Amino acid sequence: EVQLVESGGGSVQPGGSLRLSCAASGFTFSRYAMSWVRQAPGKGLEWVSSISSSGDSTYSADSVKGRFTISRDESKNTLHLQMNSLRAEDTAVYFCAKWSPSTMHGDTYYYMDVWGIGTTVTVSS
Amino acid sequence: DIQMTQSPSSLSASVGDRVTITCRASQGISNYLAWYQQKPGKVPKLLIYAASTLQSGVPSRFTGSGSGTDFTLTINSLQLEDVATYYCQKCNSAPFTFGPGTKVVIK
């Protein structure tokens, strides 16, 4: 069974740091790009960061650029999100998601087809 | 950056109704668009990718269409279990922005 399990969430003061992890199983982790998506309480989905299958390319939303770093550990089939200089507005449930490709008519389309259950981050003094 | 909007922000419809949700990109994204369903308290679920391709296991009453800047998600014959918030997402290049969501409730 394809599964993603996040961990590492918790409560932290503004300016603090947290490292989220996402353990992947049931698929060949090294073949897929991965992403983090967050959802603040009562709000919509916000894309946070993505990393290519090789780890060579990373992308981040402007709201977290320079503060959050996405990485992957192929030896442990694990995705990470290092979050520094946390702010109250970073309070959210953080989901990891598998980016899957589908090639049709010569074009490759990506989509998030597997999601973890999320881990909660609360930033408050 | 390309902005994604959705309309309406919420809607109320009866079981059996046909429901249409619109997603608009501020610039053309070809058909690099996905739709997700998030039921209350649950994890988002992929419904449609490449604007119109139904994900495996998703009921055929869900259909997607559009290209360029304007997209629609249609639920043909709304069911009780379709109560959820629906999000579109641009998938052509970063930032992979989501729309603000459309909440669907039963009348």
Chain B residues in contact with A116 by the CB 8 A cut-off are 43
Q: Which of B43, B49, B87 sits opposite A44 (nearest CB)?
A: B87
Q: Can you tell me the distance from the alpha carbon of B57 to that of B47, in angstroms, rounded to the nearest whole number?
A: 9
Inter-chain residue contact B43 with A109, CB threshold 8 Å: no
Q: Can you tell me the distance from the alpha carbon of B56 to that of B47, in angstroms, rounded to the nearest whole number?
A: 8
Query: Would you say A98 and A113 are in contact if contact means Cβ atoms under 8 Å apart?
Result: yes
**Residue type at position B59:** P
Give one DSSP letter per residue of A46-88, joined into a string.
EEEEEE-SSSS-EEE-TTTTTTEEEEEEGGGTEEEEEE-S--G
Query: Would you say A17 and A82 are in contact if contact means Cβ atoms under 8 Å apart?
Result: yes
Cα separation values, B72 from A8, A82, B54, B64, B66, Å: 37, 36, 13, 6, 6
Q: Can you tell me the distance from the alpha carbon of B88 to that of B75, in angstroms, rounded to the nearest whole number?
A: 14
Q: Residue A103 has what pLDDT? A: 87
Inter-chain residue contact A111 with B95, CB threshold 8 Å: no
Query: What mean pLDDT is predicted for residues A81-92?
Result: 98
> Which residues in chain B land under pLDDT 70?
none
Q: Residue A102 has what pLDDT? A: 85
β-strands B102-106, B70-75: how paired?
unpaired
Q: Residue B107 has what pLDDT? A: 95
| pLDDT tens digits for range B13-23 | 999 999 999 99
Q: Is A65 on the interface with B (CB under 8 A)?
A: no
Q: How confident is the model at residue A106 (pLDDT cuts 50, 70, 90)?
A: confident
Q: Residue A94 has what pLDDT? A: 98
Q: Residue A105 has what pLDDT? A: 81
| pLDDT tens digits for range A26-48 | 999 999 999 999 999 999 999 99
Q: How confident is the model at residue A107 (pLDDT cuts 50, 70, 90)?
A: confident
| Residue A82 in tokens | 């290092």
Q: Residue A104 has what pLDDT? A: 83
Kindly state the DSSP code that residue A29 receives in the 8-state scheme.
Answer: G
Query: What mean pLDDT is predicted for residues A14-28?
Result: 98
Q: Can you tell me the distance from the alpha carbon of B7 to that of A121, in angstroms, rounded to the nearest whole number?
A: 30
Count of CB contacts below 8 A, A vs B?
67
